[in-house]
Amino acid sequence: MAGPSVQDRIRAEFSVLQKEYSAFDRTLDALAALRTILYDVEEIKQETRLIDFRPRLTAADLDVEVYTPDGLIVLDGADFVLELKTSWNDKDINQIIKYAKSPSYVLSDDRTQPFRSARCVLLGYQNPPGEQNLEKLFDSWKLRNFGFPLVVFRYSLEQGSEGDRMYFSRVPYGRNGECPSSHLGKALNSPRGFPVSAESFKAHRLKFHKANDQVIASYAAVLWWTRYAGHYLSEEQKSEMAERGRLTSPLILTIDQIDSVPTPPDVEVPLGSRDVRRALEFLRQARLVDLKARHKVFEVELKEDRYIRLPQESPVPRTGSQIDISTKILARWASHKVKKPIGKPKKSKTRSARRVRDRQTGWLFDR
């Protein structure tokens, strides 16, 4: 029996990629919506003492590195640790238990502040876990006898006649916890949930390029191309881009430039150096970036969106004039991933062959 055609494989790769991209985008919408109610809802704003979407929690047990959940909210009467997920993963249990074990959080001046006994761990999902996974999660939570609640909630972007809104609702599960008494806790405990309009969190959304400690490669790639790449240009190159819409010669990026990420203004959670490395590798597979391994540099054929062409067997129509840049980049990646994949270097058993360095892969990042 014949297997799927090349076109079918490209469409399948693109479909998975697009769903992951959209899901990550909704997670950032959720962070922006939560930031909106913390800053703009007067009753909650008055009880809030600290908001940090790049928090660091001190490690517990034998761990060395600090923990990095997606948010820390300190209210008058309680401390809230926030973590957002797309869907269930068995590793979620250990991660949440680590956050709960942490004795303190790190302030902006690197001093530590102990958590208070009135505390809550908020765990949000786009696709809430089934009852079996919730049982495992709360069995593990109960075993530790923390003395403060774990609250699992759902977040979803919903469409309506009055516009899109991000909706938050506590998962109706018998063992689910309840937030400590506060205006924020009351909203999260409500069985009806609460919405935040997309129009109201639009301004806050610009501050989030990722969650605190993770970003998927496709999202990092699109963000880097649209928001970060221009910051590496000289004044002459900026003028050339403005006049011609493309550069006559590639933008050259060295390792030092990759590690020194230019942060766009007013961005609260920007991409980091590891995010940029993953972005460049993704763009390399999309054939928008070329690696010159011998010289340890990337060459970027920077151009405006209208000059980016879709491959012959693109999973989206090649004639569309209004195709979003993210769709173009994802489509190019999926097409080239199937037809011209960039592989890892092959290991050889011969001594002489081991001396030959692969010139096609991103070995310069393995430091």
Q: Give the per-residue pLDDT at 180.
A: 93
pLDDT top residue among 29 and 346:
29
Q: Do 232 and 283 reside in the same domain of the chain?
A: yes
Residues 338 and 269 both lie in one domain: yes
pLDDT digits (tens, 9 = 90+) for 174-205: 999 999 999 999 999 998 999 999 999 999 99
Q: Which of 161, 185, 205 is a domain's end point?
A: 205
Looking at the DSSP bridge assignments, the partners of residue 51 are: 73
DSSP string, 28-44: HHHHHHHHHHHHH-HHH
- Establish if 70 belongs to a structural domain: yes
Q: Which of 155, 182, 205 is the last residue of a domain?
A: 205
- Which one of 162, 178, 205 terminates a domain? 205
Q: Is 7 a member of any domain? A: no
pTM for the whole structure = 0.89
| CA distance readout (Å), 221 to 45, 98, 209, 325 | 35, 30, 11, 11
| Res 124 pLDDT > 70 | yes
Residue 358: pLDDT band with limits 50, 70, 90: very low
Mean pLDDT computed over 53-81: 94
The per-residue pLDDT for range 201-256, each reduced to its tens digit, is 999 999 999 999 889 999 999 999 999 999 999 999 999 999 999 999 999 999 88
Task: Please give the residue that has the higher pLDDT: either 294 or 73.
Answer: 73
- CATH of residue 90: 3.40.1350
Q: What are phi and psi of 42, to 5 degrees?
A: -60, -45
Same domain, 189 and 242: no
CB atoms within 10 A of CB 199: 11
> For residues 157 and 124, is the Cβ–Cβ distance under 8 A?
no
Q: 82 - beta bridge partners?
A: 71, 122
Which structural domain range is residue 127 located in? 26-205
Distance (Å, rounded) from C-alpha 132 to C-alpha 239? 58
Q: What percent of the chain has pLDDT over 70?
A: 92
Please tell me whether residues 185 and 252 are part of one structural domain: no
Query: Is there a single domain that holds both residue 186 and residue 41?
Result: yes
The tally of domains found in the chain comes to 2
Q: In 3D, which of 154, 152, 160 has the Cα closest to residue 197?
A: 160
Tell me if 195 sits within 8 A of 165, measured CB to CB: yes
pLDDT for 10 equals 94
Provide the angle, in degrees to the nearest 10, between the axes of the packed helices 6-40 and 325-339.
140
